[in-house]
Amino acid sequence: MKYTNCCPKCQHSEIAIIEGGTFKGNTYNSITMTLKVIYLTRYVCTKCGYCENYVEDQDDLESIKRKFTRNDFPDEYV
Ligand SMILES: [Zn+2]
């Protein structure tokens, strides 16, 4: 949906993009980390209402990877 700009459910091509964050008026769509909150960007099909959420920031993705996936890289924990 993010890359195709097309709804995977109904094939509609008008997708609304709603950025997360307090200043964007979208505080609740978030992942709470130890030291910060990661806000998700939501992609909404304007026809059927299907939603997808994305973490847009690569650093945030790294943080999530370290916190929520199995620890394959113990050396990164310093
Ligand atoms: Zn749709």
**The pLDDT value given to residue 59:** 93
- Residue 8 CA, ligand 1 centroid: distance in Å: 7
| Counted domains in the chain | 1
Residue 9 is assigned to a structural domain of this protein: no
- SS3 letters across 9-32: CCCCCCEEEECCEHHHCECCCEEE
- Residue 51 CA, ligand 1 centroid: distance in Å: 8
- Residue 68 CA, ligand 1 centroid: distance in Å: 30
Residue 62 is assigned to a structural domain of this protein: yes
- Residue 13 CA, ligand 1 centroid: distance in Å: 8
Residue 6 is assigned to a structural domain of this protein: no
Residue 59 is assigned to a structural domain of this protein: yes
Check: pTM over 0.85? Answer yes or no.
Answer: no
Residue 24 is assigned to a structural domain of this protein: yes
Residue 2 is assigned to a structural domain of this protein: no
- Residue 48 CA, ligand 1 centroid: distance in Å: 4
pLDDT per residue rounded down to tens, the chain (78 residues): 999 999 999 999 999 999 888 776 777 788 888 888 899 999 999 999 999 999 999 999 999 998 888 766 666 555
Q: Are 14 and 47 in contact (CB under 8 A)?
A: yes
Identify the domain containing residue 39 by its residue range.
Answer: 15-70
Residue 3 is assigned to a structural domain of this protein: no
Residue 60 is assigned to a structural domain of this protein: yes
